[in-house]
Structure 1
């Protein structure tokens, strides 16, 4: 058992191009990496792996998946050669199943860009084993908060929980990388931050009712939903860190949160 509880994070992972253009968002992650000195493994949830029924990677050497197209060739050469942990995968499966959460092990699946791009910046030495958990296509906001709660005990075993997504994610509105953020992006990011600070999980679970900007910020909700897992896995006693970063491409919030 770890003497210090492993952290929980929600990371705004932006565009795949972020891997080649670190900037302020990467600097914030690097600053937060000090909380990972005693972490024995990372469990990451990304909106780029949605399955029918939850799955968990169980490969000893998960591949770096370049799950995107039309970008600079240099991006496809990047690798995050990290170890997996099949034994820990089996343990996590048992922990979840003991709480009524079904999950199957996947020995072939690697790590998509929602996982490896932020880790490339935050933990570039890739010394900590990484497992990735899929999002069940049938999930509800309530079940995602509950999933976070089911994962919470792993923190006491040294397993950090990282939910990767984006507070705003409207690809139709993307512009210049350093362009001025759109008004609704600023408003929704501010609204979400306020709810996170207040631990208003009820409001965060129904943003379509609580914020007039949610529909524009998220034409589809998959990049927002990981935030609910992070909220469920965090504790009221945790210290919250807001990793504020400039909005990129006018529409992609890069704000991240850490609980430690």
Structure 2
């Protein structure tokens, strides 16, 4: 197997699993463009741990419906992919070798940051999946370092996916339609990120909070952008970013996706 890329995917609203949109159609085609991995490790914005990252070891992870106020059909959806405890243990060993303490979630299931995009990419649910948490309070640089520890997974048939959102200020969501106009503070941040990612301006990216326009407005909390830095780090220090998709939903959600290789 050739060296796999790492991915950052914006998973948007859980309704991505049901509601037609450009981002949904993109994800439905994405799996077909990639060499089929032996396992997937997903770094999800919806699993935060303290003191260090954690890996999920469940042999058959449950589908977690970690949201409320959505149609019944969404709560009835299941993604019965097998777990990937061996890939999770390998990830943990790599992290520990780099001096990071790692927790283990024996029964941790797949939250919607994992199962929603994967159900579109790999609808047969036949690829083993494990999750890796983001670390509450840790910086972008610390998450990029975390990703760098995982670089060898790319050569071992494991697809590393960071699942978050390029922009994520739900305080600004007031029931806008999926095709609502995009405010300037969202579009300027998205454009800034694209330029810095495609030009490998890592110092600026790691300091985005200070250097990017409207950074705090787009990310009142950082957990939805941190998976990007893990994916970037996991591709290695010389990897280049390629924008695979760009669209907006509900005005405030930039649905960008990137491959690092």
TM (norm. structure 1) is 0.94
Query: What's the offset of the Cα at 1:203?
Result: 0.8
Partners of 2:151 and 2:5 in 1: how far apart?
Answer: 10
Query: What's the offset of the Cα at 1:155?
Result: 0.6
**Structure 1 unaligned spans of 5+:** none
Partners of 1:30 and 1:238 in 2: how far apart?
Answer: 25
**Structure 2 unaligned spans of 5+:** none
Tell me what 1:76 maps to: 75
- Give the secondary-structure state (helix, strand or coil) at the position aligned to 1:96: helix
Tell me what 1:234 maps to: 235
- Give the secondary-structure state (helix, strand or coil) at the position aligned to 1:142: helix
CA displacement, residues 30-51 of structure 1 (integer Å, 9 cap, x when unaligned): 3332344331111001111101
Tell me what 2:145 maps to: 146
CA displacement, residues 197-227 of structure 1 (integer Å, 9 cap, x when unaligned): 0111111111121123112111111111111
Partners of 1:71 and 1:206 in 2: how far apart?
Answer: 35
Query: What's the offset of the Cα at 1:115?
Result: 0.7
TM (norm. structure 2) is 0.93
Tell me what 1:8 maps to: 6
Tell me what 1:207 maps to: 208
Partners of 2:240 and 2:199 in 1: how far apart?
Answer: 12
- Give the secondary-structure state (helix, strand or coil) at the position aligned to 1:47: strand
Query: What's the offset of the Cα at 1:237?
Result: 5.9
Contact 1:29/1:243, CA 8 A, preserved across alignment: no
Compared CA separation, residues 122 and 5, structure 1 to 2 (3 A): same
Contact 2:88/2:131, CA 8 A, preserved across alignment: no
Tell me what 2:84 maps to: 85
CA displacement, residues 38-77 of structure 1 (integer Å, 9 cap, x when unaligned): 3111100111110123210001100000000111111100
Contact 2:54/2:103, CA 8 A, preserved across alignment: yes
Compared CA separation, residues 142 and 36, structure 1 to 2 (3 A): same
- Name whichever of 67-76 and 234-243 sits farther off: 234-243
- Give the secondary-structure state (helix, strand or coil) at the position aligned to 1:191: helix
